[in-house]
A and B are shown apart, each in its own frame.
Chain A
Amino acid sequence: MRWMWIDQIVEVERGQRLVAIKNVSLAEDVVHDHFPTQPAPNGEQLDALPVMPASLLIEGMAQTAGILVGHANDFAEKVILAKINKARFTCDVFPGQTVRFEARIDRMDESGASATGQVSAYDHARQQYHDVGTVELMFSHIDQNMTGLEFPEENFVFTDNFKTLLRAAELI
Protein backbone atom coordinates (compact mmCIF):
# COMPACT_ATOMS: atom_id res chain seq x y z
CA MET A 1 0.00 0.00 0.00
CA ARG A 2 1.20 3.50 -0.72
CA TRP A 3 0.66 6.31 1.74
CA MET A 4 -1.29 8.39 -0.75
CA TRP A 5 -4.64 9.74 0.40
CA ILE A 6 -5.36 11.93 -2.59
CA ASP A 7 -5.64 10.74 -6.19
CA GLN A 8 -5.48 13.91 -8.25
CA ILE A 9 -4.82 17.62 -7.94
CA VAL A 10 -7.60 19.41 -9.80
CA GLU A 11 -7.18 23.14 -9.06
CA VAL A 12 -4.18 25.25 -8.04
CA GLU A 13 -3.72 28.90 -7.13
CA ARG A 14 -0.09 29.07 -6.14
CA GLY A 15 0.49 30.04 -2.51
CA GLN A 16 -3.22 30.43 -1.91
CA ARG A 17 -5.45 27.50 -2.68
CA LEU A 18 -5.29 23.91 -3.88
CA VAL A 19 -8.03 21.36 -4.52
CA ALA A 20 -7.46 17.61 -4.68
CA ILE A 21 -9.82 14.67 -4.94
CA LYS A 22 -9.84 11.11 -3.74
CA ASN A 23 -12.09 8.31 -4.94
CA VAL A 24 -12.98 6.01 -2.07
CA SER A 25 -13.16 2.37 -3.12
CA LEU A 26 -14.56 -0.79 -1.55
CA ALA A 27 -11.31 -2.43 -2.62
CA GLU A 28 -9.40 -0.43 0.01
CA ASP A 29 -8.80 -2.38 3.20
CA VAL A 30 -9.07 0.71 5.38
CA VAL A 31 -12.80 1.17 4.78
CA HIS A 32 -13.64 -2.23 6.25
CA ASP A 33 -14.04 -3.08 9.92
CA HIS A 34 -13.93 0.57 10.86
CA PHE A 35 -17.29 0.76 12.64
CA PRO A 36 -18.77 -2.57 13.68
CA THR A 37 -22.57 -2.39 13.62
CA GLN A 38 -24.80 -3.07 16.60
CA PRO A 39 -26.48 -6.50 16.55
CA ALA A 40 -29.81 -6.47 14.67
CA PRO A 41 -33.04 -6.95 16.72
CA ASN A 42 -32.95 -10.64 15.85
CA GLY A 43 -29.44 -10.87 17.31
CA GLU A 44 -27.72 -11.19 13.98
CA GLN A 45 -24.31 -9.48 13.90
CA LEU A 46 -24.05 -7.63 10.62
CA ASP A 47 -20.77 -6.89 8.91
CA ALA A 48 -19.08 -3.59 9.60
CA LEU A 49 -20.38 -0.61 7.69
CA PRO A 50 -17.57 0.39 5.32
CA VAL A 51 -16.67 4.06 5.80
CA MET A 52 -13.61 6.15 5.09
CA PRO A 53 -11.83 6.66 8.46
CA ALA A 54 -11.95 10.33 9.47
CA SER A 55 -8.29 10.18 10.54
CA LEU A 56 -7.40 9.46 6.90
CA LEU A 57 -9.56 12.35 5.74
CA ILE A 58 -7.31 14.49 7.95
CA GLU A 59 -4.28 12.88 6.30
CA GLY A 60 -5.76 13.59 2.85
CA MET A 61 -6.20 17.22 3.80
CA ALA A 62 -2.67 17.30 5.23
CA GLN A 63 -1.32 16.00 1.90
CA THR A 64 -3.43 18.53 -0.04
CA ALA A 65 -2.42 21.49 2.12
CA GLY A 66 1.18 20.23 2.40
CA ILE A 67 1.52 20.27 -1.38
CA LEU A 68 0.02 23.77 -1.47
CA VAL A 69 2.56 24.97 1.13
CA GLY A 70 5.45 23.16 -0.61
CA HIS A 71 4.50 24.49 -4.03
CA ALA A 72 4.68 28.08 -2.76
CA ASN A 73 8.48 27.63 -2.45
CA ASP A 74 8.94 25.28 -5.42
CA PHE A 75 9.23 22.32 -3.04
CA ALA A 76 12.55 23.59 -1.67
CA GLU A 77 11.33 23.32 1.94
CA LYS A 78 10.68 20.12 3.85
CA VAL A 79 7.08 20.68 4.82
CA ILE A 80 6.03 18.64 7.85
CA LEU A 81 2.57 18.46 9.39
CA ALA A 82 3.19 19.88 12.84
CA LYS A 83 -0.22 20.41 14.40
CA ILE A 84 -3.88 19.69 13.82
CA ASN A 85 -5.57 22.71 15.32
CA LYS A 86 -9.07 21.50 14.68
CA ALA A 87 -10.82 18.71 12.80
CA ARG A 88 -14.59 18.52 12.75
CA PHE A 89 -16.62 16.12 10.60
CA THR A 90 -20.39 16.13 10.40
CA CYS A 91 -20.93 13.00 8.33
CA ASP A 92 -19.19 9.87 7.08
CA VAL A 93 -17.75 9.27 3.63
CA PHE A 94 -18.66 5.98 1.97
CA PRO A 95 -17.10 3.85 -0.77
CA GLY A 96 -18.14 5.07 -4.20
CA GLN A 97 -18.03 8.70 -3.14
CA THR A 98 -15.41 11.17 -4.28
CA VAL A 99 -13.83 13.27 -1.55
CA ARG A 100 -12.91 16.83 -2.41
CA PHE A 101 -10.18 18.50 -0.33
CA GLU A 102 -9.97 22.27 -0.70
CA ALA A 103 -7.03 23.80 1.21
CA ARG A 104 -6.27 27.48 1.71
CA ILE A 105 -3.20 29.05 3.29
CA ASP A 106 -4.13 31.38 6.14
CA ARG A 107 -0.64 32.54 7.11
CA MET A 108 2.82 31.65 5.92
CA ASP A 109 6.37 32.74 6.71
CA GLU A 110 9.91 31.32 6.69
CA SER A 111 9.15 28.98 9.60
CA GLY A 112 5.94 27.43 8.36
CA ALA A 113 2.31 27.93 7.49
CA SER A 114 -1.22 27.54 8.77
CA ALA A 115 -3.98 26.29 6.49
CA THR A 116 -7.70 25.66 6.58
CA GLY A 117 -9.32 22.89 4.62
CA GLN A 118 -12.91 22.18 3.62
CA VAL A 119 -13.77 18.54 3.04
CA SER A 120 -16.78 17.67 0.91
CA ALA A 121 -17.93 14.49 -0.83
CA TYR A 122 -19.57 13.90 -4.18
CA ASP A 123 -22.37 11.38 -4.08
CA HIS A 124 -22.54 9.94 -7.59
CA ALA A 125 -26.06 8.56 -7.09
CA ARG A 126 -27.41 11.99 -6.12
CA GLN A 127 -25.03 13.83 -8.44
CA GLN A 128 -24.16 16.42 -5.86
CA TYR A 129 -21.54 17.47 -3.33
CA HIS A 130 -22.27 17.78 0.37
CA ASP A 131 -20.14 19.19 3.22
CA VAL A 132 -18.23 16.70 5.29
CA GLY A 133 -16.10 18.84 7.59
CA THR A 134 -13.32 21.30 8.30
CA VAL A 135 -9.67 20.75 9.19
CA GLU A 136 -7.21 23.39 10.40
CA LEU A 137 -3.55 22.49 10.17
CA MET A 138 -0.08 23.88 10.82
CA PHE A 139 3.03 23.00 8.86
CA SER A 140 6.65 23.48 9.82
CA HIS A 141 9.51 24.13 7.42
CA ILE A 142 11.73 21.92 9.51
CA ASP A 143 15.09 23.14 8.25
CA GLN A 144 14.13 26.63 9.44
CA ASN A 145 12.91 25.58 12.86
CA MET A 146 14.77 22.74 14.44
CA THR A 147 18.00 24.71 14.64
CA GLY A 148 20.89 22.49 15.65
CA LEU A 149 19.34 19.36 14.18
CA GLU A 150 20.59 18.12 10.85
CA PHE A 151 18.18 16.73 8.29
CA PRO A 152 19.09 14.87 5.12
CA GLU A 153 19.88 17.07 2.16
CA GLU A 154 17.28 15.47 -0.09
CA ASN A 155 13.66 16.42 0.33
CA PHE A 156 12.22 13.29 1.97
CA VAL A 157 8.74 14.82 2.16
CA PHE A 158 7.99 15.11 -1.53
CA THR A 159 9.11 11.66 -2.57
CA ASP A 160 8.62 9.76 -5.84
CA ASN A 161 5.01 8.88 -5.08
CA PHE A 162 4.20 12.53 -4.66
CA LYS A 163 6.24 13.51 -7.67
CA THR A 164 3.95 11.38 -9.84
CA LEU A 165 0.99 13.31 -8.49
CA LEU A 166 2.75 16.66 -8.87
CA ARG A 167 3.89 15.87 -12.40
CA ALA A 168 0.35 14.91 -13.43
CA ALA A 169 -0.82 18.33 -12.26
CA GLU A 170 2.18 20.00 -13.94
CA LEU A 171 3.37 21.44 -10.63
CA ILE A 172 6.92 20.19 -11.23
Chain B
Amino acid sequence: MSYNILLCGVGGQGTVLASKLLAATAGAADLTVHSAETIGMAQRGGPVTSHVRIGADAFSPLIPKGSADLIIAFEPAEAVRNLDYLKKNGAVIVNENCIKPVTESLNPTGYDGSEMITYLKKSVSRLIVVNAETLCEPFGSTKFFNIAVLGVAEGAGLLDFSKEEITDTIEKTVKKDFVEVNKKAFLRGCEIGEKESSVGEFPVASKEPAKSEEKALTARRMSEEETERILAIQKEMAKKKK
Protein backbone atom coordinates (compact mmCIF):
# COMPACT_ATOMS: atom_id res chain seq x y z
CA MET B 1 0.00 0.00 0.00
CA SER B 2 1.25 3.46 -0.76
CA TYR B 3 0.16 6.91 0.32
CA ASN B 4 0.30 9.44 -2.48
CA ILE B 5 0.58 13.15 -1.86
CA LEU B 6 0.45 15.67 -4.68
CA LEU B 7 1.59 19.21 -3.92
CA CYS B 8 0.73 21.86 -6.46
CA GLY B 9 0.98 25.59 -6.75
CA VAL B 10 2.77 28.36 -8.55
CA GLY B 11 6.54 28.43 -8.96
CA GLY B 12 8.11 30.37 -6.11
CA GLN B 13 5.59 29.30 -3.44
CA GLY B 14 7.88 26.69 -1.92
CA THR B 15 6.22 23.45 -2.96
CA VAL B 16 9.61 21.83 -3.52
CA LEU B 17 10.76 22.39 0.06
CA ALA B 18 7.43 21.11 1.40
CA SER B 19 7.70 17.93 -0.65
CA LYS B 20 11.32 17.45 0.36
CA LEU B 21 10.30 17.73 4.00
CA LEU B 22 7.62 15.09 3.56
CA ALA B 23 10.02 12.78 1.72
CA ALA B 24 12.74 13.28 4.32
CA THR B 25 10.33 12.61 7.18
CA ALA B 26 9.25 9.38 5.51
CA GLY B 27 12.88 8.46 4.90
CA ALA B 28 13.77 9.10 8.54
CA ALA B 29 10.88 6.82 9.57
CA ASP B 30 12.43 4.07 7.44
CA LEU B 31 9.62 4.12 4.92
CA THR B 32 10.08 3.72 1.19
CA VAL B 33 9.59 7.08 -0.44
CA HIS B 34 9.80 8.43 -3.97
CA SER B 35 9.36 11.99 -5.04
CA ALA B 36 9.58 14.11 -8.16
CA GLU B 37 9.33 17.86 -8.53
CA THR B 38 8.88 20.42 -11.26
CA ILE B 39 12.03 22.49 -11.32
CA GLY B 40 13.66 24.66 -13.94
CA MET B 41 12.04 27.32 -16.05
CA ALA B 42 8.70 26.93 -14.37
CA GLN B 43 10.30 27.80 -11.07
CA ARG B 44 8.72 31.25 -10.98
CA GLY B 45 5.19 32.06 -11.96
CA GLY B 46 4.36 28.83 -13.79
CA PRO B 47 2.22 25.92 -12.55
CA VAL B 48 4.29 23.42 -10.55
CA THR B 49 3.62 20.03 -9.01
CA SER B 50 5.53 17.76 -6.66
CA HIS B 51 4.69 14.11 -6.31
CA VAL B 52 5.47 12.27 -3.07
CA ARG B 53 4.73 8.57 -2.76
CA ILE B 54 5.22 6.82 0.55
CA GLY B 55 4.95 3.10 1.36
CA ALA B 56 6.37 -0.25 0.29
CA ASP B 57 4.18 -0.29 -2.83
CA ALA B 58 5.47 3.02 -4.15
CA PHE B 59 7.55 1.78 -7.05
CA SER B 60 8.01 5.01 -8.97
CA PRO B 61 7.83 8.71 -8.20
CA LEU B 62 4.93 9.81 -10.42
CA ILE B 63 1.40 9.50 -9.08
CA PRO B 64 -1.02 8.08 -11.67
CA LYS B 65 -4.21 10.05 -12.26
CA GLY B 66 -6.98 9.14 -9.87
CA SER B 67 -4.52 7.90 -7.25
CA ALA B 68 -3.61 10.80 -4.98
CA ASP B 69 -4.74 10.30 -1.38
CA LEU B 70 -4.06 13.93 -0.61
CA ILE B 71 -3.67 17.03 -2.73
CA ILE B 72 -2.07 20.03 -1.04
CA ALA B 73 -2.81 23.00 -3.28
CA PHE B 74 -1.07 26.31 -2.69
CA GLU B 75 -3.41 28.12 -5.08
CA PRO B 76 -7.13 27.60 -5.93
CA ALA B 77 -6.84 27.22 -9.73
CA GLU B 78 -3.89 24.85 -9.34
CA ALA B 79 -6.07 22.60 -7.13
CA VAL B 80 -8.65 22.43 -9.90
CA ARG B 81 -5.97 21.93 -12.57
CA ASN B 82 -4.72 18.83 -10.73
CA LEU B 83 -8.02 17.43 -9.48
CA ASP B 84 -7.81 14.54 -11.96
CA TYR B 85 -5.08 13.11 -9.77
CA LEU B 86 -7.35 12.77 -6.73
CA LYS B 87 -8.40 9.31 -5.66
CA LYS B 88 -12.04 8.58 -4.97
CA ASN B 89 -12.64 10.00 -1.48
CA GLY B 90 -9.22 11.59 -1.48
CA ALA B 91 -8.66 14.76 0.56
CA VAL B 92 -7.77 18.24 -0.66
CA ILE B 93 -6.23 21.10 1.30
CA VAL B 94 -6.40 24.35 -0.64
CA ASN B 95 -5.24 27.92 -0.07
CA GLU B 96 -8.03 30.29 -1.02
CA ASN B 97 -5.69 33.21 -1.83
CA CYS B 98 -5.20 33.31 -5.55
CA ILE B 99 -2.09 34.22 -7.48
CA LYS B 100 -2.97 36.20 -10.56
CA PRO B 101 -0.86 35.38 -13.59
CA VAL B 102 0.98 38.30 -15.22
CA THR B 103 -1.26 37.84 -18.26
CA GLU B 104 -4.12 38.89 -15.97
CA SER B 105 -2.63 42.40 -15.63
CA LEU B 106 -2.25 42.70 -19.40
CA ASN B 107 -5.59 41.13 -20.35
CA PRO B 108 -7.90 41.01 -17.31
CA THR B 109 -10.36 38.13 -17.13
CA GLY B 110 -11.46 38.84 -13.56
CA TYR B 111 -9.82 35.72 -12.11
CA ASP B 112 -9.78 35.91 -8.31
CA GLY B 113 -9.92 32.24 -7.29
CA SER B 114 -13.41 32.36 -5.79
CA GLU B 115 -14.97 30.43 -8.67
CA MET B 116 -12.37 27.69 -8.13
CA ILE B 117 -13.16 27.41 -4.42
CA THR B 118 -16.89 27.17 -5.20
CA TYR B 119 -16.16 24.38 -7.68
CA LEU B 120 -13.96 22.54 -5.18
CA LYS B 121 -16.60 22.81 -2.46
CA LYS B 122 -19.12 21.22 -4.80
CA SER B 123 -16.89 18.47 -6.11
CA VAL B 124 -14.65 17.42 -3.20
CA SER B 125 -16.22 16.09 -0.03
CA ARG B 126 -13.05 15.94 2.04
CA LEU B 127 -11.93 19.53 1.59
CA ILE B 128 -10.06 21.92 3.85
CA VAL B 129 -9.96 25.54 2.72
CA VAL B 130 -7.29 27.63 4.40
CA ASN B 131 -6.31 31.25 4.02
CA ALA B 132 -2.54 31.56 3.69
CA GLU B 133 -2.53 35.25 4.60
CA THR B 134 -4.40 34.67 7.86
CA LEU B 135 -2.44 31.51 8.61
CA CYS B 136 0.91 33.21 8.09
CA GLU B 137 0.01 36.58 9.61
CA PRO B 138 2.13 36.13 12.77
CA PHE B 139 5.17 35.34 10.65
CA GLY B 140 4.97 38.40 8.42
CA SER B 141 5.11 36.57 5.11
CA THR B 142 3.11 33.97 3.21
CA LYS B 143 6.48 32.43 2.33
CA PHE B 144 6.00 30.23 5.41
CA PHE B 145 2.78 28.78 4.03
CA ASN B 146 4.65 25.80 2.59
CA ILE B 147 5.54 24.62 6.10
CA ALA B 148 2.34 25.84 7.76
CA VAL B 149 0.18 23.86 5.33
CA LEU B 150 2.04 20.68 6.25
CA GLY B 151 0.91 21.48 9.78
CA VAL B 152 -2.68 21.74 8.56
CA ALA B 153 -2.37 18.28 7.00
CA GLU B 154 -0.76 16.91 10.15
CA GLY B 155 -3.38 18.48 12.46
CA ALA B 156 -6.21 17.12 10.32
CA GLY B 157 -4.75 13.64 10.59
CA LEU B 158 -3.88 13.40 6.92
CA LEU B 159 -0.23 12.51 7.50
CA ASP B 160 0.90 9.36 9.22
CA PHE B 161 3.72 11.07 11.07
CA SER B 162 3.91 12.52 14.55
CA LYS B 163 4.43 16.25 14.98
CA GLU B 164 7.87 15.52 16.42
CA GLU B 165 8.91 13.51 13.38
CA ILE B 166 8.14 16.50 11.17
CA THR B 167 9.70 19.13 13.44
CA ASP B 168 12.83 16.95 13.60
CA THR B 169 13.04 17.07 9.81
CA ILE B 170 12.51 20.84 9.84
CA GLU B 171 15.49 21.12 12.18
CA LYS B 172 17.62 19.02 9.90
CA THR B 173 16.54 20.48 6.56
CA VAL B 174 15.75 24.17 6.94
CA LYS B 175 18.51 26.79 7.18
CA LYS B 176 19.49 27.37 10.79
CA ASP B 177 18.15 30.93 11.07
CA PHE B 178 14.73 29.83 9.88
CA VAL B 179 14.24 26.70 11.97
CA GLU B 180 12.35 28.37 14.81
CA VAL B 181 9.94 30.40 12.67
CA ASN B 182 9.25 27.38 10.47
CA LYS B 183 8.53 25.22 13.49
CA LYS B 184 6.14 27.87 14.78
CA ALA B 185 4.46 28.07 11.36
CA PHE B 186 4.11 24.29 11.34
CA LEU B 187 2.56 24.20 14.81
CA ARG B 188 0.15 27.01 13.95
CA GLY B 189 -0.87 24.98 10.91
CA CYS B 190 -1.44 21.98 13.19
CA GLU B 191 -3.84 24.00 15.36
CA ILE B 192 -5.88 25.02 12.31
CA GLY B 193 -5.80 21.47 10.97
CA GLU B 194 -7.00 19.97 14.24
CA LYS B 195 -10.28 21.86 13.84
CA GLU B 196 -10.76 20.00 10.56
CA SER B 197 -9.98 16.57 11.94
CA SER B 198 -13.22 15.12 10.51
CA VAL B 199 -11.60 15.34 7.08
CA GLY B 200 -8.80 13.08 8.26
CA GLU B 201 -11.08 10.26 9.39
CA PHE B 202 -9.92 7.85 6.75
CA PRO B 203 -7.24 5.22 6.98
CA VAL B 204 -3.83 6.34 5.80
CA ALA B 205 -0.94 4.13 4.73
CA SER B 206 0.26 1.81 7.42
CA LYS B 207 3.89 2.04 8.32
CA GLU B 208 5.61 -0.76 6.51
CA PRO B 209 9.35 -0.83 6.95
CA ALA B 210 11.22 -0.48 3.68
CA LYS B 211 13.43 -3.20 2.34
CA SER B 212 17.00 -2.03 2.13
CA GLU B 213 17.22 -2.24 -1.68
CA GLU B 214 14.05 -0.24 -2.01
CA LYS B 215 15.47 2.45 0.18
CA ALA B 216 18.37 2.73 -2.20
CA LEU B 217 15.90 3.68 -4.88
CA THR B 218 14.75 6.82 -3.10
CA ALA B 219 14.69 9.31 -5.92
CA ARG B 220 15.50 12.47 -4.02
CA ARG B 221 17.85 12.54 -1.11
CA MET B 222 18.55 15.27 1.33
CA SER B 223 21.60 17.46 1.23
CA GLU B 224 23.35 15.64 4.06
CA GLU B 225 23.15 12.36 2.24
CA GLU B 226 24.24 14.03 -0.94
CA THR B 227 27.30 15.40 0.80
CA GLU B 228 28.11 11.95 2.12
CA ARG B 229 27.79 10.50 -1.34
CA ILE B 230 30.09 13.13 -2.82
CA LEU B 231 32.62 12.51 -0.05
CA ALA B 232 32.51 8.79 -0.82
CA ILE B 233 33.15 9.49 -4.51
CA GLN B 234 36.02 11.80 -3.61
CA LYS B 235 37.56 9.10 -1.42
CA GLU B 236 37.17 6.58 -4.21
CA MET B 237 38.85 8.93 -6.64
CA ALA B 238 41.68 9.62 -4.22
CA LYS B 239 42.20 5.85 -3.88
CA LYS B 240 42.36 5.41 -7.63
CA LYS B 241 44.92 8.23 -7.93
CA LYS B 242 47.21 6.42 -5.49
Q: Do A and B bind each other?
A: no
A residues in contact (CB < 8 Å) with B: none
B residues in contact (CB < 8 Å) with A: none
